[in-house]
Every structure is written in C-alpha cells, then in structure tokens.
Amino acid sequence: MFDIPSLDLPSLISAGGRVRLPGSKSISNRVLLLAALSEGPTLVEDLLDSDDTRVMLAALRQLGCAIEETGPASVRVQGLGGRLPVREAALFLGNAGTAMRPLTAALSLLAAAQGARFELSGVPRMHERPIGDLVDALRQLGCPVACLQNEGYPPLRLGDGTVHPLRLDEPIRVRGDVSSQFLTALLLALPLVAQERDAVIEVTTELISKPYIEITLKLLQRFGVDVRREGWQRFTIPRGSRYASPGRIAVEADASSASYFIALGAIAPATPGTDGVVIEGVGTDSIQGDIRFIEAARLMGAEVEGDGNRLRVRRGAWPLKAIDLDCNHIPDAAMTLAVMALYADGTTTLRNIASWRVKETDRIAAMAIEGRKLGATIEEGADFIRITPPAGPAAGPPQGGAAPSGSSEPHAVGSVGAHGWRRASIHTYDDHRVAMCFSLAAFNPAGLPVRIEDPKCVGKTFPDYFETLFGVCHTPAERIPVICIDGPTASGKGTLAAELASRLGYHLLDSGALYRLVGLAAEREGLSTTEADLREPAHAERLGRLAAGLDVRFTPGKTWLEGEDVTEALRAEPAGMAASRVSAVPQVRAALVDLQLQMRHLPGLVADGRDMGTVIFPGAPLKIYLTASAEQRAQRRHKQLISKGIPAILDDLLADLKARDARDMNRAHAPLKPAEDAVLLDNSELDIEQSVQFVLNRWHGQQAFPVR
Ligand SMILES: Nc1ncnc2c1ncn2[C@@H]1O[C@H](COP(=O)(O)OP(=O)(O)OP(=O)(O)O)[C@@H](O)[C@H]1O
Ligand SMILES: Nc1ccn([C@@H]2O[C@H](COP(=O)(O)O)[C@@H](O)[C@H]2O)c(=O)n1
C-alpha cells in the first residue's frame, strides 16, 4: 500500500495480463458477522484484508468472539450461537458502514434480549452518515437505542443493561430509499430473536440497491436461514430460525473492485503480447449486484466475456459510447462509469444515484469537482451526474506506443494537454472509490500524469490497488520518471535515495550494490580483482561474463547472491574497494546496463550511483549530483561503521575514500562526473532531512500540478 501524501501516476498507454482481486467487502463483513452469530466454528477463506474488515474483526473480538487467523486470507470464527459473553463494550467502527449498520441491529436486539449495553462510534464522517431509519425500526421492536450526538446519526448507545421484551407481533417498518443496508441489518439480526414467532419486515418506500439485499438473502441461506420474500416490500424470517455454520465458506472476489479493471480493459489498448485484461476470482454468475456493471460497460463499448470465476475484457468501441443510465442497481460500481465517461463520444448521464451523497463522502460532488479539474464539463443534481469529456475530437489514449501528437512531454511543465485535458491533483476525500476511479484518468490522450492524493485511502477495500494496477499497465520507459542521485562515496546518496523512494512511493536502484556483487562473486570464484589483472583482456572478459550471469535477487532490505544473504558482506569496506576496481572494467559495466534499465518500473524510480544521470538514464527528469567535502564524508563513514560495531580508523577511511574518488572520476568508461543538466547539491552543511527536502522541493516544483 502507498502510505504517502500523494502518488503521481505517469501517463499510461496500454494494459494486459491477469489480476487477482481481493475478496468482496460486502460479503466479507456479512460472513464474519454471520459466522460470529452462528452455532459452531466457521472457516472463512479468501477474506478481504482491508480497513473495513479489520474494523469488523476487532469489534467481534471485543464482543468475546474467538477468531483465529489460519492463513493470509483466512480465519476460523468460533460462533457465539447468539449468546453474548461480553455485556458492555464501546466499539469504534471507523468509517465502515458495513460494520456500523449490521452491528447496530444485531447488538440492539441481543442487548434488549439479554440485558446488555453497547456504544458504537466512528470517524467524524461516520457521524454524518444517517442511520435514523434503522434506529426507528429498532425502537419499534422495543430496543432502547439512543443517538448520543445528533438524532438519527451515530454515535449510538444500544441497550441499557436491562432486559426488554421485543415486539415481534407487528411487522417492522423500515424505509428502503436511503440505504439498503438498514434492511440488510434487520435481516441479519432478526433470526436471533425470531424463535417463538415469525419476524416480518415491511419496506415502506421504494427499495434501492436491491442486489445487495440479494447477497444478504443468499448468505442467510448459507447459514441456515431461509427468508420468505414477497416482492421487495415484505420479508418474513420464519419462526424457529437459527444460524448454523456452513463449516467453510469462501468469499468471492469483489465485483465493485472488478469494475476498475473492467473499465481498464475497455479504455486501454491491449499491451502487445496480451489478450486484454483477465480478472480472476469473480465471474458472470457472481452473487454480487455490482457484477451487472459488465452490462453498463458493454453499453459503453467494452468487450467482456467470462465464466463462473473469471472475466476477460478487451477494448471494443472507441471512443467509448456515451450512455444515459439508471444506476440504482450498481450504486458503487457506477462511479467507475463516471470515469469511463471521460473517454466517451458525447455526454453521459448517470441517474438515480442519490445514495452517492451519503457514502464515504458526497460522491456526486466529489466526482464532479475532481472530474472538472481534469477538464470535463460536469453537471450535478440531487440524484444524477452528467459528464461531458474534456473537449476534443476523440477522447482516449493513443493506439500503440507512440506519444500522441501535441502531447506534453512526459515531464514537461504545463498543465493543459491535447483535447482539453488538464494536469490534475485529485483530492480523494478519504474515499477509496474516488481514488481508484481517477487512477484511470492516467490514460488521458494528452499524455499527462495524474496525481492521486492520500492514495492509502484505497485500504478500505483494496489495499494493493495501485500495485495491482501497475502490474497490468504499460507505458514507454521514458514516461516513467527517474530521479538520479550520483556522487562520490559516503556523500549520502544511498540514504537520500532511499528516503526519496519511500516518500514518493518509487522503486529504488542501488547500482553500487551491483558492482559490489560482482566484486564479491569474483572473490568467491577465486578471480583476481587487482588493477593489474583487470587490465588483462581475457580476465576482463571473464569478469564481464561473471557480471552478466550474476544469480542475484533483491527482497525488501536484503540482497541474495546464489541464494545466500550477502547484505552485510556487501556493505563492508573491502567490498566497496573491490567494486571500485571491477567497475572500471568496460565489460562489467556493459553487462550490468540492462539489469539497471529493467528497474525502471511504474510508478517511478530513484537511482543511486556514479553514472545514473550520465550513462544509464540520460533522459531522467531530475539529476542530483550530491557531494560533500572528503573530510565530512570520511567522518560520516567513520561514524556509520563505529555505530555498527565495525572498527575503523578515520585517516585510513579518508585515504581509501580519496583513492576511490580518484579511480571513479578518472576511469575511461562512465567516469564519475555531474551530468550537464545535474543539480549540484553540496550537503556538507545540511542534515539528511534538509537534503531530502531540497530534492523534494525541486521535484514537486517540476511536476507543476495545479494547487487546489
Ligand atoms: N546530509 C547528511 N548529513 C549527515 N550525514 C549524512 C548525510 N547524508 C548521509 N549521511 C550519513 O552518511 C553516511 C553515509 O551515507 P550513505 O551510505 O548514504 O552514502 P553513499 O553516498 O550512498 O555511500 P556509498 O557510495 O559508499 O554507498 C550514513 O551513515 C548516513 O546516515
Ligand atoms: N553506478 C555506479 C555505482 C557504483 N559504481 C562503483 O561501485 C563502487 C561501490 O559503489 P557504492 O555506491 O555502493 O559505494 C563505487 O565506488 C564505484 O566505483 C560505479 O562505478 N557506478
């Protein structure tokens, strides 16, 4: 997950390959609650690991439910069988509506029936999300429910510690036009108390988001409760209902999450060598309502085919076709249509989406404000949004790999591109769907990058969304930004590069490590690395072959040579000296070029070395030549070694460092020198943070994303 203030997506041109999606949020949280309420243990597999499911798991544990992690995406829930071992608790539910609504209903009924008391609260936005209709329904049943701040909104107090008789003799009346989660909550809770008589729910207004109710009914069935449904107005939970664990249940991949990859396949030309985007874990017979997003995507031109557990999407009509659609049946996935509309041949209208206004944020407003930043013309109403793409003859990314005519250079300053698209920094309102939707704007035909603010908000349902997206998207290497940090030894390149990479969410290339690896591998093979031997052409060839065949692997914080962890050995001073000698051999340098170029992955790279800016990435948009006085550098290295418990003599270090500088600067091939367009940074008088800020300011200054 990108836990950084903002993530810059380079402009993208094609997509293809397989994606495996995380489990459905709606199914995960329903299943967890049902498993906790059931008799007996339930093994839940393919569970979504996200903010909302973590909230539900924490709440259930707090209520005394034993939950054991049995694998990376599976838990065993020891059902409580409707009994409450904990009778008083304060539960914090973040911004998870799929936890707040069903827990409110279940705990209200159990608290009234068993004499317990609970407080449920969340983040400020959760306290603005209405729950009054559910509270009214629970009060009709005889449950004491208090709204602790504003009537009709969380935080709530459920129960008062005493037993209250429940009134099941009359139908429970609930509205269906604000959120279908109120009905879901009652359906999940009432089997706990429908022992002596049927429990009947009457929906008093038009029910929205019916597919979510279908998920609820199907899952109730899996847990042994058959609800009788008369139209969408009357639901009867039969007398004697009792939750029984199915033993094992697997969660389908999230159909709403699939919408981004369906849209991706529809917008992006297939990367050569692929046959479009293949989505695994969810298929055409999914029980999730958002699977019907496929129909809408097809209307816009997507070619989608699938089976029980898989979908394949290819671009069909292009530009996409504008549509006018009632989206009540796909409230969450419909947001993705709003971004597809940016690539359409006319104006798209999405109707009957009033529920967007009471989600994680006011989604109609959010999509309108952010879409306009990109250059679209957007009209919004109480329950609709109308989107006209950024002006231009044909909306959409280029076919093939060439930059579109009139496109901005990948890193050029300037905020308006071809076809009226604008360079935008997308505010995400702590709403995962806003972030995921607007990532697709990176396919804009103007070749402009897109900034996504607070990218970690995707953690609500899809923590690895951006990693998954980058895994199937392609763009020419020259569009992937590289920041080069070159300079002499111990100037702080590695430290600075690592900090920058972590703050920008970029990959890191420590090119010195490659030369150190060659030195180490040579030593292990018994190959000499003295300067005299390295001048022998046959010996240099051997070393070149050794470098070309290095069996090396990088894992976070570790480097492996032929399966052995060599992280410590590589950083030792002799390895640095050997690296400095072997790096002067042209055959060695040539052998390592491709390996370095291949590190240029989305969303960007910070490369540290001696020739990053001059030889390996000469077109990089930012090159820093980092230096400090030899004395300062020797002191830093001395301090570094001593702090690791490695004995070192300052004068020896200074002499070695000067020898390395001289060799690196005077060798014939790729000598250490600043690139012509490098920014010189002498950090003798700067601390690490000041150096980092210097480079970040430079970098952000170059990106020219308009400030909100
Ligand atoms: N601006 C700075 N001020 C003070 N100390 C620094 C600064 N930058 C880095 N250091 C410290 O200097 C030491 C050497 O830094 P680092 O290993 O990053 O250098 P390097 O240039 O990558 O060296 P090499 O080329 O040998 O790998 C580290 O202990 C680091 O914490
Ligand atoms: N791009 C590079 C990087 C490093 N070298 C040589 O390797 C030695 C070790 O590098 P460190 O950054 O890990 O200290 C260094 O002294 C250089 O001789 C290089 O040539 N090109």
Q: For residue 452, give the H/E element and its range.
A: strand 450-453
Question: Running DSSP on this structure, what letter comes out for residue 270?
Answer: B
Amino acid at 220: L
Q: Is 332 a catalytic residue?
A: yes
- Asked whether residue 24 is marked as a ligand-binding residue, the answer is no
Residues in the chain: 708
556 pLDDT band (50/70/90 cuts)? confident
pLDDT of residue 445: 94
Checking if the pLDDT of 8 tops 70, the result is yes
Q: Which of 665, 679, 674, 675 is nearest to 619 (CA)?
A: 675
Checking if the pLDDT of 75 tops 80, the result is yes
247-260 tens-digit pLDDT: 999 999 999 999 99
Calculate ∠ Cα 26-29-30, nearest 5°: 80
DSSP assignment string, 505-518: T-EEEEHHHHHHHH
CATH superfamily of 25-250: Enolpyruvate transferase domain (3.65.10.10)
From its phi and psi, is residue 406 left (phi > 0), alpha (psi between -120 and 50) or beta?
A: left
Say if ligand 2 is within 6 A of residue 486 CB. no
d(CA 343, CA 337): 10
d(CA 521, CA 525): 6
At residue 92, the 3 state secondary structure works out as strand
Neighbours of 391 (CB within 10 A): 12
Identify the residue whose C-alpha is closest to ligand 2 atom 16. 580
366-377 tens-digit pLDDT: 999 999 999 999
Sheet holding 558-561, edge to edge: 552-555, 558-561, 564-565
Q: Which ligand is nearest to the CA of 575?
A: 2
Q: Which ligand is nearest to the CA of 669?
A: 2
Structure-block tokens of residue 334: 């419909």
- Asked whether residue 658 is marked as a ligand-binding residue, the answer is no
538 φ, ψ (degrees, to nearest 5)? -65, -40
Identify the residue whose C-alpha is closest to ligand 2 atom 18. 580
The alpha carbon of 491 and the centre of ligand 1 are apart by a number of angstroms equal to 5
Checking if the pLDDT of 394 tops 80, the result is no
The alpha carbon of 510 and the centre of ligand 2 are apart by a number of angstroms equal to 9
- Asked whether residue 26 is marked as a ligand-binding residue, the answer is yes
d(CA 268, CA 440): 9
The alpha carbon of 89 and the centre of ligand 1 are apart by a number of angstroms equal to 50
Q: Tell me the sheet residues that pair with 482.
A: 605
pLDDT of residue 403: 37
Q: Which of 437, 406, 255 is nearest to 342 (CA)?
A: 437
What's the mean pLDDT in 210-238?
95
DSSP assignment string, 560-620: EETTEE-HHHHHSHHHHHHHHHHTT-HHHHHHHHHHHHTT--TT-EEEEESSIIIII-TT-
399 pLDDT band (50/70/90 cuts)? very low
At residue 134, the 3 state secondary structure works out as helix
- Topology given in CATH for the domain delimited by 6-21+253-477: UDP-n-acetylglucosamine1-carboxyvinyl-transferase; Chain (3.65.10)
361 pLDDT band (50/70/90 cuts)? very high
Of the residues 511, 515, 624, which should be mutated to test ligand 2's pocket, given the most ligand atoms within 8 Å of the CB?
515
Neighbours of 168 (CB within 10 A): 20
DSSP assignment string, 2-40: --SSEEEEPP--EE-EEEEPPBPHHHHHHHHHHHHHSBS
pLDDT of residue 414: 46
Identify whether the C-beta of residue 374 lies closer than 8 Å to the C-beta of residue 415. no
Amino acid at 604: G
Identify the residue whose C-alpha is closest to ligand 2 atom 19. 610
d(CA 15, CA 503): 26
pLDDT of residue 96: 94
pLDDT of residue 395: 47
Q: Is the four-CA dihedral 357, 360, 364, 368 of positive or negative sign?
A: positive
d(CA 576, CA 573): 5
pLDDT of residue 349: 98
327-356 tens-digit pLDDT: 998 999 999 999 999 999 999 999 999 999
d(CA 458, CA 21): 13
Identify whether the C-beta of residue 307 lies closer than 8 Å to the C-beta of residue 264. no
Q: For residue 78, give the H/E element and its range.
A: strand 74-78
pLDDT of residue 389: 96
Checking if the pLDDT of 520 tops 70, the result is yes
Say if ligand 2 is within 6 A of residue 488 CB. no
88-92/145-147 β-pairing: unpaired
Say if ligand 2 is within 6 A of residue 328 CB. no
The alpha carbon of 640 and the centre of ligand 1 are apart by a number of angstroms equal to 8
DSSP assignment string, 294-334: HHHHHHHT-EEEEETTEEEEE--SSSBPP-EEE-TT-TTTH
From its phi and psi, is residue 536 left (phi > 0), alpha (psi between -120 and 50) or beta?
A: beta
582-637 tens-digit pLDDT: 999 999 999 999 999 999 999 999 999 999 999 999 999 999 999 999 999 999 99
d(CA 60, CA 48): 16
Structure-block tokens of residue 257: 């999450």
Structure-block tokens of residue 350: 């999405």
Catalytic pick among 332, 345, 486, 608:
332
Ranges of each domain in the chain: 6-21+253-477, 25-250, 479-703
Say whether 479-703 and 6-21+253-477 share the same fold: no
Say if ligand 1 is within 6 A of residue 79 CB. no
Say if ligand 1 is within 6 A of residue 511 CB. no
User: What is the overall mean pLDDT for the chain?
Assistant: 93
d(CA 386, CA 351): 9
416 pLDDT band (50/70/90 cuts)? low
261 pLDDT band (50/70/90 cuts)? very high
- In the chain, what percentage of residues exceed pLDDT 90? 89
- In the chain, what percentage of residues exceed pLDDT 70? 96
Q: Is the four-CA dihedral 608, 611, 616, 617 of positive or negative sign?
A: positive
d(CA 46, CA 438): 27
Checking if the pLDDT of 180 tops 80, the result is yes
Look-up of token digits 């209250």 = 164
HSE at residue 460, side-chain half, CA atoms within 13 A, is 25
At residue 458, the 3 state secondary structure works out as helix
Q: Which of 483, 481, 562 is nearest to 518 (CA)?
A: 562
Look-up of token digits 């529920």 = 355
The helices-and-strands tally (H runs, E runs) of the chain is 22, 33
Question: Running DSSP on this structure, what letter comes out for residue 273?
Answer: T
- Asked whether residue 491 is marked as a ligand-binding residue, the answer is yes
Q: Is 281 buried (19+), middle (13-18) or exposed (0-12) by CB count in 10 A?
A: buried
DSSP assignment string, 475-489: --GGGS-EEEEE-ST
Q: What are the Cα distances from residue 103, in Å, to 86, 228, 471?
A: 14, 23, 37
Neighbours of 610 (CB within 10 A): 25
Amino acid at 317: A
Neighbours of 689 (CB within 10 A): 9
Say if ligand 2 is within 6 A of residue 449 CB. no
479-703 CATH, one of 2.60.40.790, 3.40.50.1860, 3.40.50.20, 3.40.50.300:
3.40.50.300
pLDDT of residue 209: 81
Question: Running DSSP on this structure, what letter comes out for residue 422?
Answer: B
d(CA 525, CA 529): 11
Identify whether the C-beta of residue 300 lies closer than 8 Å to the C-beta of residue 333. no
Q: Which ligand is nearest to the CA of 658?
A: 2
117-121/88-92 β-pairing: parallel
Identify the residue whose C-alpha is closest to ligand 2 atom 17. 580
Pick the atom of ligand 1 nearest to 497's CA.
18
Checking if the pLDDT of 22 tops 50, the result is yes
Contacts of 652 (CB under 8 A, 6+ apart): none
Identify whether the C-beta of residue 52 lies closer than 8 Å to the C-beta of residue 94. yes
442-467 tens-digit pLDDT: 999 999 999 999 999 999 889 999 99
Say if ligand 1 is within 6 A of residue 444 CB. no
117-167 tens-digit pLDDT: 999 999 999 999 999 999 999 999 999 999 999 999 999 999 999 999 999
Identify whether the C-beta of residue 330 lies closer than 8 Å to the C-beta of residue 262. no
Amino acid at 559: T
Say if ligand 1 is within 6 A of residue 609 CB. no
What's the mean pLDDT in 529-557?
94
Q: For residue 627, give the H/E element and its range.
A: strand 622-627
Q: Which string of b and e fits 618-629 if b means at least 16 CB within 10 Å?
A: eebbbbbbbbbe
